[in-house]
Every structure is written in structure tokens, then in C-alpha cells.
Amino acid sequence: MLDEQFMREALKEAQKAFDRDEVPVGAVLVHNNRVIARGYNQVELLQDATAHAEMVCLSAGAESIGNWRLTDTTLYCTLEPCCMCAGALLASRVTRLVWGAPDLRVGANGSWIDLFSNQHPMHTLEITKGVLEAESAELMRSFFQKQRNKKNDLSSR
């Protein structure tokens, strides 16, 4: 299945974030069944709260095609987008969103709030949820367990 194939590419990006001590979220942007942009969470590296995987990927996608309008593209993301990223998806006119694990903290597709529940006045976004959800969620669990272990190691010194 193509959705799983491209979500595996997003998981590779999430692993890059994990390896750099970033919250492991990854994204890829696909046009005509080809990855045209990649992104992973870089909030800590850049000290920029807007450097989410989706934002990095959407910017790279716009640069790749030379247009901010990303029509006829699909964004694959390992985690449910937050409000900022949901807004960017609509503003950049991505046609389809596929995400893996829900984000109970700030998920904007129903886990915390649903920004996509109202019909947008100019754009329709098709959404598929839960693709490789277990793998995406496990990477997040592993990351936060690693962070807790580091904190415990430091406090026991």
C-alpha cells in the first residue's frame, strides 16, 4: 500500500529527530507518487517552536516546486498535526494529509481540538488517520522513556 510506503519514509525522518534528541516527528511531501520534500522536528536544534516536521517539510516542498501552493500533494506525518501545522496545511493548499499517531496534547484533528471539522471556505483537505500508528506511537514512547531515564540518571548523581 502506498500510504504505508510513504509513512515509512516519514518514520525515517522521525528517526533522524530521535537520534538528535528531538521529539521524533517526521514528514514527507509526495507529488505524483514521488517524495519531493522531507522534514523532521528541529525545535531544539534551531531553538524555534515553529520548526515542526510538517513546517520544515512544507517549506522544502514549496522550494522544490517553486510555488507556495502545494496542490495535488499529500503530506505524510508520523504524528497528528498541531494547530499551527494544520493551519499551514490549509494555507499551502495541500490536497491530502495522512498521519500516524494521535497527539493528545496538541492534536488538531480531534485528539485535542478539530480544526478540520468545519468546511474551509476555499480548500478541501482529505485526511487519513492512523497509518502505521503503532510504529509512530512506539517511537514517541521510546523517546520520552529515554528522556525520563536521562533525567533520572542526572538526579541520582
- Give the pLDDT confidence of 38-97 residue by residue, as tens digits: 999 999 999 999 999 999 999 999 999 999 999 999 999 999 999 999 999 999 999 999
pTM of the model: 0.94
Please identify every residue annotated as catalytic: 54
Q: Cell 484533528, residue?
A: 109
- CA 108 and chain centroid, separation: 12
